[in-house]
Amino acid sequence: MSEKMNKPGKKGFARIIAATGYSWQGLKAAYRNEAAIRQELLAGIVVIPLAIYLAKTGVELALLVGSALLVFLMELINSAIEAIVDRIGAEYHPLSGQAKDIGSALVMVAMIIAAIVWGAILFYPT
């Protein structure tokens, strides 16, 4: 029963190229269809240069930029969850609401992490 499944499709470098294309399509779809993604990108345009300016070390830069990207990442996951739930059906179901709420919680926790990282670096300098 532990036979390896042979998945059809591209292999090697061609698979990497195809995966990159799929990822780009996903980013474009998220940008087109999700206001929160557009807001996070706008925030990133402001926050990432600010992080570059404020960081005193490579570690600080990685933490500041990484925490901003974490928020964007969680927003992408939240958007994917919402798209899947909406695809299943428009009628209300408690598990659908729960899935969407948990996705929203992902974003909130990432924002809290970002606030802690930025606060620690800006207000507790070494």
Reported as a pLDDT band with limits 50, 70 and 90, residue 2 is low
Q: What percent of the chain has pLDDT over 70?
A: 94
pTM of the model: 0.85
What is the rounded average pLDDT of the residues 80-85? 94
Q: Give the class (CATH, top level) of 35-123.
A: mainly alpha
Active site residues: 75
Nearest alpha-carbon partner for 65 in 54, 74, 76, 75: 54
Note the pLDDT tens digit of each residue in 27-45.
999 999 999 999 999 999 9
